[in-house]
Amino acid sequence: MDIRVENLTKRYGLQKAVDNLSFEVKTGEILGFLGPNGAGKTTTMKIITCYLGADSGDVKVGGISVNDSPEEVKKHIGYLPEHNPLYYEMPVIDYLRFVAQLQGVSPEMVNERIIEMINTCGLKGEQHKKIRELSKGYKQRVGLAQALIHDPSVLILDEPTTGLDPNQIIEIRELIKKIGREKTVILSSHILAEVEATCDRIMIINKGKIVADGTSEQLRKQAQGDELLRVAIEGGSRDEIFTALQALPSTALVDFASETQTVFELQSKPNVRSAKAIFELCASKGWYIGELTPIETKLEDVFREVTAK
């Protein structure tokens, strides 16, 4: 079920938390929703889930408007907010039964859905424990189970791995990827490595506006701009190799990458590649290439660049 956000605006007093925001998420896509604190991520997710109303604009979930039919939209959405909505004194299985009834699961399907969620979310050994007795990781699993109990087509997850240890993060990440094969997922997180590993597409917003949108590879390439290479060459002196690299027609800038070794960082001119010219130079001089690798921009660098403006 697709999500279409159309010209969404939300103000808190004089501040625009969401500023004429528009985007689309396709069925079966996991969208990583990033931004600094106060960027408007949680507000946007609350509007999509009908928890908040927008000042203007609309969200359509499977063609159904949150403005016109919020109760119908809610039937198709599973929502895990940043602060997990759990009743700590309830056993897991009783809590899931309670949520299933709240979500309108038919009585004859409740037990089947509970069993499926316990298996899907890895809660078999914990199902009879009170929620307060569970580790943080298992509480997050229960939160995912409550979001999925009514088999929604859309899943909205706000910081689902907050406070988890590395092993728990990997477990929840794999679970989300598994779920995302069949559902439309919007995942908000501050852990950029998690988003890159889990999501098909990444959107970064800042001050309520989209500042970057694409796959992690596309975003890195856009931020990186001109080609940047790490080159290690043997067979000549540092100064000789430096001067020769600098003289290549494709070269914009060369810098030493090591104080003692013949290792350099070379930036190509716009829309030009230097690898062939470097090979030909080394062949003509009788030098040997020890390393020739592109230097990739990290997602953290992309995030800082687009949110610092």
CATH number of the domain within which 255 lies: 3.30.70.100
pLDDT of residue 150: 94
pLDDT at 115 (0 to 100)? 95
| Structural domain of 251 | 225-297
Sequence-distant (6+) residues with CB within 8 A of 113 are 96, 100, 105, 149, 150, 151
Residue 91, pLDDT above cutoff 90 = yes
Tokens of 244: 């020769």
172 or 237, greater pLDDT = 237
171 and 206 housed in the same domain: yes
Q: Is residue 308 part of a domain?
A: no
pLDDT, position 6: 96
- The answer to the question of residue 267 being in a domain is yes
Is 297's pLDDT higher than 80? no
Burial of 238 from C-beta contacts in 10 A (0-12 / 13-18 / 19+):
middle
Q: What is the pLDDT of residue 192?
A: 80
Is the pLDDT confidence value at 52 over 70? yes
Asked if 212 and 233 sit in the same domain, the reply is: no
Domain tally, the chain: 2
pLDDT of residue 169: 79
Same domain (yes/no): 104, 93: yes
Q: Is residue 302 part of a domain?
A: no
11 in any annotated domain: yes
CA-CA distance, 196 to 177, in Å (whole number)? 12
- Residues 246 and 114 occupy one common structural domain: no
Q: Are residues 167 and 85 in the same domain?
A: yes
Specify whether 278 is located in the same domain as 199: no
Residue 113 has pLDDT above 90, yes or no: yes
Specify the pLDDT at position 87. 96
Cα–Cα dist 174/84, whole Å: 19
Of the residues 222, 246, 277, the one at which a domain ends: 222
215 and 229 share one domain: no
Report if residue 304 sits inside a domain: no
* Boundary residue ending a domain (183, 202, 222): 222
SS3 130: strand
Please list the residues that pair with 293 across neighbouring strands: 230
pLDDT tens, 191-204? 787 788 889 999 99
pLDDT number for residue 223: 62
Same domain, 113 and 211: yes
Side-chain-facing half-sphere of 117: CA atoms under 13 Å: 31
pLDDT at 76 over 90: yes
pLDDT tens-digit profile of 241-260? 999 999 999 998 898 888 78
Q: Is residue 116 part of a domain?
A: yes
Q: What is the mean pLDDT of residues 264-281?
A: 90
Same domain, 187 and 242: no
Q: In the chain, what percentage of residues exceed pLDDT 70?
A: 96
State whether 216 and 273 are in the same domain: no
Contact 32, 173 (CB under 8 A): no
Q: Are residues 213 and 231 in the same domain?
A: no
| Residue 179, CA distances (Å) to 57, 89, 135, 261, 293 in order | 29, 28, 22, 49, 36
